[in-house]
Structures are given as C-alpha cells and as structure tokens.
Amino acid sequence: MAQASFEKVYHGFHAATMDATDLTHSNGYGIIEDAAIAVARGNIVWIGKAIDLPVHSAPTSYLGGGWVTPGLIDCHTHLVFGGDRATEYEMRLQGASYEDIAKTGGGIVSTVTDTRKASEAELFASAKKRLRALMSDGVTCVEVKSGYGLDLVTETKMLTVARQLGNELPVTVRTTCLAAHALPPEYKEQADAYINLVCERILPSIAQAGLADAVDGFCEGIAFSVEQIERVFQTAQALGLPVKLHAEQLSDLGGSGLAAKYNALSSDHLEYLSDADAVAIAKAGTVAVILPGAFFCLKETKLPPIARLRELGVAMAVASDANPGSAPVLSLRLMMSMACTLFGLTPLEALQGVTIHGAKALGLGDSHGQLKQGFAADFVCWDINKPAELCYWLGGQLVKHRAVAGEIT
Ligand code: NIG
Ligand code: FE
C-alpha cells in the first residue's frame, strides 16, 4: 500500500478544530475525539481520528492527553514601546480619567517620548519579554502595531523591531502601521498638518520598505476625526494596504461606518458602537474586535453591543490590546475569560474570537486559526478536560505543548 508522505504525526489528544465548515457540529468546536494531526512543510496535511490515520513511516509524537486547539491569535497589540505608565495607573486609581491624563500631556504622548528615546535593541528586548509571556499562555500568532513614534524614524524603528520579533521567535507576527494614533507634541493644534505627514511621508515610506501588513488609526475626540482618518484610509488603499480602526472606544464618532466603507479587516473596541454602524460592519464583513482588557483597566461601564453583533452575524474576535496605558495585558486567555464574564460571550465564542475570527481580523482566514488540511500547523495542547476550561481558569499554566509550523517549541 502507498505510504502517505507525512513529516511528523502527533496523537494522544482530543481536538477542537474550530473548522469553519463545521461550525454547527459538535457544539461548534469541531470536536474530534482521539485525534491525530500529520504535518509536512509546516502545514497540516491530514487531521482526523487517530484510528483512521493512513499508513505512514513518519516519526510519531504522543502528546499525553488533553485537548488540542489552533494556536491562539492575538489580533490587536501594541507590544513594542519604551517605558511604562504605572504612575498613570496610580493616578487613575485616585480618580483621574484616561482622557484627562491624555489632555495634560500624559497618555500615549508620554510613551511616545520614551519610545523615541529607546534604541532598537532596547525596544526589542522589552517587547520580547512581553511576547514570551503571551506565547507561554498559548499565542502562536500576534499582531503588533506601531503608533508610539508619530514620526517617520520612530514608526520605522518600531515596525522593524516587530518584524525582528517574528524572525527570531517561534511566532507569526503581523505588523500594522498606526501612525494616526495621537497628535505628536510638535504638531500641537495642527492635526491636519500631521495627517499630511502621515499620508505623504510616513505611510508611503513604510509601505515601500514592506514594514506593514495593514494600516490602523484612532478615531476619537482625543485623537482624529472621521475626515482625518478617511484621508489615512485613502492613502492606505492607494498603497494596497488593508485597513483597521480603533473606533467607538470612548465615544461614538461613527468610525466603524467609515471602516465598513473601506472594507476594513476589523473595527476594534466598539463600546459606543451605534446600531447603524453595527449593521454597516455586518454588511462589509468587517470583524468586530472586542478588547475587554482596556474596558476593565479603564473601569468602562458601557458595554459593546454583543447581543446585536451576534444577531447580525458579525464575526467577533477577542484580543489583548497589550499596551502600556489602557491595557497592560500579558495573557490572552485572561481576555477570553473577561470576554465571557464582562461581555457575555460564551466560551465557544471566546475561543472562536482568538482562533478563526482572530485570523480573519488579520487577513489570515485562509491559512490560520483552524485545524484543517492546508492550514498552518500551529496548535496548542492544553492540560484540560473540556474546552470551556480555557476561559474558566484565571491564570495557571495550562499549556502542555505549543507547536508552530509543525514543530513543538
Ligand atoms: O487600544 N485607544 C488607543 N490606543 C490604545 C491605547 C494606547 C495607550 O494608551 O497607550 C488602545 O487602548
Ligand atoms: Fe489598541
């Protein structure tokens, strides 16, 4: 009998494949009990019940029980930055608001000062520690934004560091240029002039260097208007880069409507999302990325309209938003738990949010976030008895094995 050309075979676990063609089956987890996965050239070439494995001569690894899921995808982070903002955290605990701190020169702009000062090596070393923490809790793919440079040199430095993280660590890194994150101090009262710089200098140069996979902006009273972000989106479109947006985090400016108009990969935060814009992102197929860490840390009380998004069939992703200000978060699993407890997602929706839907929010829906033939062999074997435990336990070490491109790391 002809032998299948597998490079490696894993068995000894149950699998939650999150296979999109199988969303209604086995409670949507795409469960395969007593499963096996065969890999070759970094991809899954066969998955099914171990008993049905074709004849092969590849080395076999027994994973010793537990559940295997796709590797977790954190589709929204600001992992590269200088300094920290623990002092602002203490100020907020004393009653200062995030917006007050931003208006008096703190907030994002204070991280900009520290990030401009830091060398590439310093930014790499600090981001690597944070990324290692996310990886040890099951992340195999992460998005990293710029946005603490706000000038060409520092935005380039941040994105270079982000690319370097992906080259040196066993994790897939997608980069996003977030030059339209805040107004740099040298452009005080000149937001339109800064947007000119972003559109005429920063984005073309970053795109030319191949440093960004997408373009993002912050549409908010303390950041940029819909009109200003639209110019950024038009530039991104002309450069052939997909867009995403920080929208409706603190107020409703209609950013998600704009995101939908530009077929954004995702619209993120969404606490103040209007019904009209929920309908718009549903029609556009834009992913709603919910960020319970920022909601929690800023003691926000307005909930994103989860039930309405669910009713409209909007894909909901869950991410860490790891950043020094609104979300110093180093565990994506904790975000899954908060998405359930604070926002009312089910554990299944939370897992979809960090697998199949997280992949879609990064434009990787055809290659990541599901365990199926032809997809990346990125998976985690968890020390749990049922998938809901991924949301149930706060903290702890649940990862038994973590594989990227078919190799246990
Ligand atoms: O996603 N909302 C804007 N940007 C970040 C916060 C960045 C910061 O405070 O440093 C966010 O929450
Ligand atoms: Fe963010």
Domain ranges within the chain, ordered by starting residue: 8-70+370-408, 72-361
Distances (CA, A) of 354 to 44, 88, 184, 223, 320: 19, 29, 32, 28, 10
Ligand nearest to the CA of 298: 1
pLDDT digits (tens, 9 = 90+) for 72-115: 999 999 999 999 999 999 999 999 999 889 888 889 999 999 99
- How many Å lie between the centroid of ligand 2 and the Cα of residue 321? 5
- For the chain, give the secondary structure using H, E and C: CCCECCCEEEEEEEEECCCHHHCCHHHHCCEEEEEEEEEECCEEEEEEEHHHCCCECCCEEECCCCEEEECEEECCCCCCCCCCCHHHHHHHHCCCCHHHHHHCCCCHHHHHHHHHHCCHHHHHHHHHHHHHHHHHCCEEEEEEECCCCCCHHHHHHHHHHHHHHHHHCCCEEEEEEEEECCCCHHHCCCHHHHHHHHHHHHHHHHHHCCCCCEEEEEECCCCECHHHHHHHHHHHHHCCCCEEEEECCCCCCCHHHHHHHCCCCEEEECCCCCHHHHHHHHHHCCEEEECHHHHHHCCCCCCCCHHHHHHCCCCEEECCCCCCCCCCCCCHHHHHHHHHHCCCCCHHHHHHHCCHHHHHHCCCCCCCCCCCCCCECCEEEECCCCCCHHHHCCCCCCEEEEEECCEEC
In this prediction, residue 2 has a pLDDT band, given cuts at 50, 70 and 90, of confident
Give the pLDDT confidence score for residue 169 in this predicted structure.
Answer: 98
In this prediction, residue 28 has a pLDDT band, given cuts at 50, 70 and 90, of confident
Q: Is residue 25's pLDDT more than 70?
A: no
In this prediction, residue 4 has a pLDDT band, given cuts at 50, 70 and 90, of confident
Ligand nearest to the CA of 220: 1
What is the C-alpha separation between 187 and 402, in angstroms, rounded? 45
Instruction: Take residue 139 and report the two structure tokens written for it.
Output: 């992340």
Q: Is residue 22's pLDDT more than 80?
A: no
Give the pLDDT confidence score for residue 23 in this predicted structure.
Answer: 56
Fold of the domain built from segment(s) 8-70+370-408: Urease, subunit C; domain 1 (2.30.40)
Ligand 1 test: best mutation among 222, 246, 271, most atoms within 8 Å of CB?
A: 246
The atom of ligand 1 lying closest to the CA of 327 is 12
- How many Å lie between the centroid of ligand 2 and the Cα of residue 177? 12
* Average of per-residue pLDDT values in the chain: 96
Q: Is residue 21's pLDDT more than 90?
A: no
- Tell the residue nearest (CA) to atom 6 of ligand 1: 326
Neighbours of ion ligand 2 (CB under 5 A): 321
Q: Is residue 26's pLDDT more than 70?
A: no
- How many Å lie between the centroid of ligand 2 and the Cα of residue 182? 12
- Tell the residue nearest (CA) to atom 5 of ligand 1: 326
The atom of ligand 1 lying closest to the CA of 325 is 9
Q: What is the CATH number of domain 72-361?
A: 3.20.20.140
Ligand nearest to the CA of 147: 1
Name every protein residue with a CB atom under 6 angstroms from any ligand 1 atom: 78, 107-108, 111, 218, 246, 249, 294, 321, 323-327
In this prediction, residue 1 has a pLDDT band, given cuts at 50, 70 and 90, of low
Q: Is residue 66's pLDDT more than 90?
A: yes
- Tell the residue nearest (CA) to atom 9 of ligand 1: 325
pLDDT digits (tens, 9 = 90+) for 178-219: 999 999 999 999 999 999 999 999 999 999 999 999 999 999
Ligand 1 test: best mutation among 88, 114, 218, most atoms within 8 Å of CB?
A: 218
Q: Is residue 3's pLDDT more than 90?
A: no
- How many Å lie between the centroid of ligand 2 and the Cα of residue 318? 12
- Tell the residue nearest (CA) to atom 1 of ligand 1: 321
